[in-house]
């Protein structure tokens, strides 16, 4: 195992241990079937799998061997590119799984914890925008037309809209500024979306973020139709540290909730084994 992959493995192992500690704490409170425990469980599994990829999961000499037979591939620069592609494929799975799990927990938490006024605001937000836009054009339609534009479920409401309203409702219970949390998750959302386009950002405007983690700064530059530029002290660990900060903020948000009953994670029914 080379020194680069050894260092990656050691740093990932720290995040694996942290996610396990959160999992243990939340499972003790609400059992493993609660969506908050489930988020940390999946984060632990995903990070552990990511860790195995760089510790015992692959023989890089054997992995490189077939590429050496391909014309023009047998030189160090290209082999380094192959290693990066392998690593980023693991980053892809790590980010998608952790982000999707947090998004599921956000949907279920909002459904249980948001007051009715805030729920209705989210479900009606597109219908109200349509009504306002048409009114500006001096057009008024029957209410049943606007009702067709209401969201039927909070799962249909964009991620940041839900998070913004939940944090606003919980603001007094949060230990840090909600603006800081929203800024991070906005960056995370853009980064996660770019994964689906091979790390090419496709947005209406350029974005720049500076994310602090473990006393280091990770910078992100998003320019339309260009590869996302991420810079950190260690280029290999930027995504792992994003996941680490996601886990920290998820725990902070969960701790702020005044809802102390179990919130069942429906995915357990999907993966439940039959006797």
Contact assessment for residue 211 and residue 184, using Cβ atoms and an 8 Å cutoff: yes
Query: What φ, ψ does residue 203 adopt, rounded to 5°?
Result: -140, 170
3-class secondary structure, 229: strand
Residue 201's domain spans which residues? 3-271
What is the rounded distance in angstroms from the CA atom of residue 13 to the CA atom of residue 17? Answer: 6
Separation CA 85–CA 215 (nearest Å): 28
Residue-wise pLDDT tens digits, 64-106: 677 777 766 666 666 677 777 777 788 888 999 999 999 999 9
pLDDT tens per residue, range 144-197: 654 555 666 788 888 999 999 999 999 999 989 999 999 999 999 999 999 888
Number of compact structural domains in the chain: 1
What residues contact residue 173 under an 8 Å CB cut-off, 6+ apart? 255, 256, 257, 258
Note the pLDDT of residue 46. 92
Give the pTM: 0.83
Tens of pLDDT, residues 216-272? 899 999 999 999 998 887 767 888 899 999 999 999 999 999 888 889 888 766 655
pLDDT at 206: 94
Residue 127 pLDDT greater than 60, yes or no = no
Residue 30 gets the label, from left (phi > 0), alpha (psi -120 to 50) or beta, of alpha
Longest dimension (CA), the chain: 69
Region of 182 (left: φ > 0; alpha: ψ -120 to 50; beta: rest) is alpha
Say which DSSP state 34 is in: B
pLDDT at 102: 95
Q: Which of 110, 99, 100 is nearest to 154 (CA)?
A: 110
Tell whether the model's pLDDT for residue 138 goes beyond 90.
no
Asked if residue 104 lies in contact with residue 153, where contact means CB atoms within 8 angstroms, the answer is: no
**pLDDT of the residue at 106:** 95
Sign of CA dihedral 253, 255, 261, 266: positive
Chain-centroid distance, C-alpha 121: 24
Task: Tell me if 126 sits within 8 A of 63, measured CB to CB.
Answer: no
Band (pLDDT 50/70/90 cuts) for residue 110 is: very high
């Amino acid at each position: 195992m080379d020194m680069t992959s050894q260092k990656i493995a050691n740093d990932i192992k720290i995040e694996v241990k942290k996610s396990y500690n959160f999992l243990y704490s939340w499972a003790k409170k609400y059992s493993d079937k609660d969506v908050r425990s489930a988020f940390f469980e999946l984060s632990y599994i995903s990070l552990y799998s990511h860790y195995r990829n760089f510790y015992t999961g692959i023989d890089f000499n054997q992995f490189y061997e077939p590429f050496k037979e391909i014309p023009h591939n047998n030189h160090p620069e290209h082999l380094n590119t192959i290693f990066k592609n392998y690593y980023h494929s693991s980053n892809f799975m790590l980010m998608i799984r952790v982000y999707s799990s947090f998004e599921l927990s956000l949907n279920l938490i909002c459904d249980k914890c948001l007051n009715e006024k805030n729920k209705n605001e989210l479900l009606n937000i597109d219908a109200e925008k349509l009504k306002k836009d048409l009114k500006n054009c001096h057009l008024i339609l029957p209410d049943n037309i606007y009702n067709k534009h209401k969201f039927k479920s909070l799962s249909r409401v964009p991620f940041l809209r839900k998070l913004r309203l939940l944090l606003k409702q919980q603001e007094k219970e949060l230990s840090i500024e909600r603006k800081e949390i929203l800024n991070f998750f906005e960056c995370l959302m853009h980064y996660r979306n770019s994964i689906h386009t091979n790390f090419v950002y496709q947005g209406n405007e350029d974005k720049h973020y500076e994310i602090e983690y473990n006393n280091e700064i990770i910078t992100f530059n998003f320019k339309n139709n260009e590869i996302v530029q991420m810079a950190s002290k260690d280029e290999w660990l930027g995504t792992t540290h994003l996941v680490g900060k996601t886990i920290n903020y998820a725990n902070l948000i969960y701790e702020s909730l005044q809802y102390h009953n179990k919130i069942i994670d429906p995915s357990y029914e999907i993966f439940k084994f039959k006797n």
